[in-house]
């Protein structure tokens, strides 16, 4: 995972720490946009990287924000966790459950059940290790420090619950002195009852009257299975009969009072358990706000850790948040295709790599017009940009290269797919046009517009005219846009309009498939004649079709061919400049890392030298070469050595072999 972007810091407001489902209420960031871009699959994917239910819930409810400072803080948190994990590992989430419902229920008159309290205790106990992780980390992850302050060490409450309830949700005998006394008395009484029944069952005259030799239970009372024809032969109480009536369940008179005593004790036991559970539930209720705040913070921390796990596994980077509406993505990959190909490889299919593309908007042009045949490649490019924008605005690292830049859009508007409305009796063309007109009304500056197949569904000349009008309007409202079309006439817009450029998705005429490689500055060809020839159209028909191309089309194609070489050279120079910048950044970061490492080494040596100079006979040290402890016999600073006692022998060692004692 790569973290090359500058950091933006904003510590104000607890809301910056928790990613809730509220998100933005802008019409361009709504469920329709999410559905068109398959954003739910991103949510599901990220939830799969979460360690506990608290984080999963946040991931599944995640929505993008339109606040740049909030996006920057979310990405900073991922960067800081990545840096801290190298030394301290990831936060420990073992034993954490979503017990918010139990915490809320502790306020009700009825106490929590033992198993609910046991789960609460396990979760509260896990807060200790999380707090210890933050303590060890110290200031290594400043973006997470405020979040760490919200996680309280609730292990004392967990310990109190665990003293009364075991991990299986059973109230312990020694949960209170009174409960222990009651249960001991019950056990003693049950022992006396067993003696009575053993004596009765040893009498052959009795066992002959039983359906089977042995005792059973009616509720908590021990009874004998007497045959119905022997009713009254065993003095006692008949509690019930079998469904057939052939068996009577009799409690012998000798055990009635003993059983009565146990029943009374069971009632006392139940009251004492209720008293214990109420006390523990009250303690949970009294600390409910702290617990709920801690659980929310743990969920947010788990979501941050999930973003890091995803980024590390899929080689993602945190983009630089650009304040000037510049999108400049290097080696951008479609995130869902990355997941799909990884899943295929895991299932044993031949590995496939997602094509990585350089994509930009707002640099030298604001509107990209992608032309070419209808083969799916253009739509993939649109969805790639839309998804990466949504992910960025959720604070998720994205599958792009180092130094990539992404703005925070106030709206992402999309017109893609079959929008035909049967209820309104609208044609596909009418429905798409209505949607596009709505986008022009709602969109504007700091908005991203994605339109698939602009001008399609009607007469090509009229469709091209409408498409050109829409492109012009997008420029006037200062939106950033990517539009696809198969109308060749729209290629000319880029040659006559500032801030508009062409692009195409490369097409392989041999396989008749797109390569999914985006080529900026080059308009696409329909390749219809090439495809027709590959499919067996006779050469004379191909030549005749070429002759039918109008003069305007031929002139445009000739003009395009004349500019292609210079555009390709310009794009190659741009890529080379970017790579040089990235390499320079890497070199600078490596230099800074080495400088920092040298400073750390110098400080460590200074501390070690002070410690060595203060050593005296009898002090404990650790011998690095022997990997064992020893005690100083005599320091010999003038010889840069020390005489130490290591077990049964005294040895002289260089001072460089002497280290501070190791903890047991």
Neighbours of 660 (CB within 10 A): 12
Q: Is the dihedral of CA 643, 646, 651, 655 positive or negative?
A: negative
Cβ contacts of 58 within 8 Å, gap of 6 or more: 18, 19, 20, 50, 299, 300, 302, 303
Q: How far apart are CA 175 and CA 171, in angstroms?
A: 7
Angle, helix 114-137 to helix 253-286, in steps of 10 degrees: 30
| Burial per residue of 55-84, b for 16 or more beta-carbon CB atoms within 10 angstroms, e otherwise | bbbbbeebbbbbbbbbbbbbbbbbbbbbbb
Share of the chain above pLDDT 90, in %: 55
Q: How far apart are CA 209 and CA 615, in angstroms?
A: 90
User: Would you say residue 24 has pLDDT above 50?
Assistant: no
Q: Which CATH number is 14-154+287-314 given?
A: 1.10.1420.10
CB 385 within 8 A of CB 58: no
What's the whole-number mean pLDDT along residues 113-118? 96
Q: Long-range contacts for 568-575 (Cβ within 8 Å, ≥24 apart)?
A: 568/521, 568/522, 570/521, 571/519, 571/520, 571/521, 575/358
Measured CA to CA in angstroms, residue 128 lies from 122, 294, 383, 417 at distances of: 11, 11, 43, 51
pLDDT at 495: 85
User: Would you say residue 320 has pLDDT above 70?
Assistant: yes
Token duo for residue 492: 């000319």
Cβ contacts of 556 within 8 Å, gap of 6 or more: 488, 491, 492
pLDDT 10s digits, 256-266: 999 899 989 99
Q: Which CATH number is 320-533 given?
A: 3.40.50.300
Identical fold between 14-154+287-314 and 615-659: no
Token duo for residue 635: 């320091």
Q: Which of 125-134, 407-416, 545-554 has the lowest mean pLDDT?
A: 545-554
Q: How far apart are CA 451 and CA 436, in angstroms?
A: 8
Is the domain 174-269 a CATH 2.40.10.170 member?
A: no
pLDDT 10s digits, 492-502: 898 889 999 99
DSSP 3-state of 19: coil
User: Would you say residue 565 has pLDDT above 80?
Assistant: no
Every domain of the chain and the residues it spans: 14-154+287-314, 174-269, 320-533, 549-614, 615-659
pLDDT at 8: 35
Q: How far apart are CA 436 and CA 414, in angstroms?
A: 8
DSSP 3-state of 493: helix
Q: How far apart are CA 503 and CA 372, in angstroms?
A: 9
Confidence of residue 25 (pLDDT cuts 50, 70, 90): very low
Angle, helix 253-286 to helix 177-201, in steps of 10 degrees: 160
415, with CB counted inside 10 A (0-12, 13-18, 19+), is buried
Token duo for residue 497: 């309009």
What's the whole-number mean pLDDT along residues 102-108? 91
pLDDT at 424: 46
pLDDT 10s digits, 239-252: 888 888 899 999 99
Geometric angle at alpha carbon 447, from 443 and 449, rounded to 5°: 75
pTM over 0.75: yes
What's the whole-number mean pLDDT along residues 15-36? 61
Based on DSSP, count helices (H) and strands (E) in the chain, helices before strands.
20, 19
Cβ contacts of 252 within 8 Å, gap of 6 or more: 196, 197, 200, 224, 234, 235, 236
Q: How far apart are CA 161 and CA 280, in angstroms?
A: 7
Confidence of residue 27 (pLDDT cuts 50, 70, 90): low
Angle, helix 253-286 to helix 155-164, in steps of 10 degrees: 180
Is the domain 615-659 a CATH 2.30.30.140 member?
A: yes
Confidence of residue 551 (pLDDT cuts 50, 70, 90): low
Token duo for residue 411: 């709206």
Q: What is the DSSP letter of 210?
A: B
What's the whole-number mean pLDDT along residues 431-442? 90
């Amino acid at each position: 995972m790569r973290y090359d972007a500058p950091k933006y810091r904003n510590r104000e407001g607890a809301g910056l720490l928790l990613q809730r489902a509220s998100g933005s209420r802008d019409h361009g960031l709504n469920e329709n946009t999410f559905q068109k871009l398959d954003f739910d699959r991103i949510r599901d994917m990220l939830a799969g990287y979460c360690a506990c239910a608290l984080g999963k819930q946040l991931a599944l409810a995640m929505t993008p924000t339109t606040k740049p400072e909030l996006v920057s803080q979310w990405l900073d948190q991922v960067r800081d966790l990545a840096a801290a994990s190298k030394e301290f590992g990831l936060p420990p989430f073992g034993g954490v459950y979503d017990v918010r419902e139990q915490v809320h229920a502790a306020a009700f008159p009825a106490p929590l059940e033992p198993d609910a309290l046991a789960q609460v205790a396990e979760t509260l106990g896990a807060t200790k290790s999380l707090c210890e992780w933050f303590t060890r980390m110290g200031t290594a992850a400043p973006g997470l420090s405020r979040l760490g302050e919200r996680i309280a060490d609730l292990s004392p409450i967990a310990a109190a619950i665990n003293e009364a309830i075991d991990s299986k949700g059973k109230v312990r005998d020694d949960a209170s002195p009174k409960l222990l006394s009651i249960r001991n008395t019950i056990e003693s009484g049950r022992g006396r009852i067993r003696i009575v029944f053993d004596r009765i069952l040893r009498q052959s005259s009795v066992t002959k009257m039983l359906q089977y030799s042995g005792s059973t239970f009616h509720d908590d009372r021990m009874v004998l299975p007497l045959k119905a024809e022997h009713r009254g032969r065993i003095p006692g109480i008949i509690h019930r009969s079998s469904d057939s009536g052939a068996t009577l369940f009799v409690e012998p008179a000798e055990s009635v009072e003993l059983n009565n005593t146990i029943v009374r004790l069971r009632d006392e036991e139940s009251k004492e358990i209720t008293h214990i559970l109420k006390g523990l539930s009250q303690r949970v209720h009294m600390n409910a706000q702290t617990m709920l705040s801690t659980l929310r913070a743990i969920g947010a921390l788990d979501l941050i850790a999930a973003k890091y796990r995803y980024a590390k596994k899929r080689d993602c980077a945190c983009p630089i948040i650009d304040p000037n509406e510049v999108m400049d993505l290097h080696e951008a990959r479609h995130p869902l295709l990355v997941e799909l190909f990884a899943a295929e490889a895991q299932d044993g299919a031949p590995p496939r790599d997602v094509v990585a593309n350089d994509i930009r908007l707002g640099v030298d042009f604001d509107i990209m017009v992608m032309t070419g045949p209808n083969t799916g490649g253009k739509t993939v490019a649109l969805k790639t940009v839309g998804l990466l924008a949504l992910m960025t605005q959720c604070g998720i690292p994205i599958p792009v290269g180092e130094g990539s830049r992404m703005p925070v859009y106030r709206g992402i508007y999309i017109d893609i797919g079959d929008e035909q409305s049967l209820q309104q009796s609208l044609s596909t063309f009418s429905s798409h046009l209505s949607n596009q007109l709505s986008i022009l009304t709602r969109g504007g500056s700091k908005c991203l517009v994605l339109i698939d197949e602009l001008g399609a569904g009607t007469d090509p000349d009229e469709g091209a005219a409408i498409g050109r009008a829409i492109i012009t309007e997008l420029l006037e409202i200062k939106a950033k846009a990517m539009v696809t079309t198969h109308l060749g006439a729209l290629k000319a817009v880029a040659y006559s309009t500032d801030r508009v450029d062409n692009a195409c998705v490369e097409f392989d005429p041999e396989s008749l498939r797109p390569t999914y490689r985006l080529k900026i500055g080059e308009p696409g060809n329909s390749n219809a004649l090439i495809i027709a020839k590959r499919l067996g159209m006779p050469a004379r028909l191909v030549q005749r079709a070429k002759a039918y191309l109008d003069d305007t089309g031929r002139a445009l194609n000739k003009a395009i061919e004349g500019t292609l070489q210079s555009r390709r050279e310009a794009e190659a120079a741009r890529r080379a400049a970017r790579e040089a910048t990235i390499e320079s950044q890497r070199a600078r970061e490596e230099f800074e890392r080495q400088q920092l490492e040298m400073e750390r080494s110098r400080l460590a040596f200074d501390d070690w030298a002070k410690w060595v100079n203060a050593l005296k006979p009898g002090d404990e040290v650790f011998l690095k070469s022997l990997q064992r402890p020893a005690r100083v016999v005599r320091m010999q600073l003038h010889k840069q050595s020390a005489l130490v006692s290591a077990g049964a022998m005294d040895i002289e060692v260089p001072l460089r072999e002497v280290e501070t004692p190791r903890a047991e």
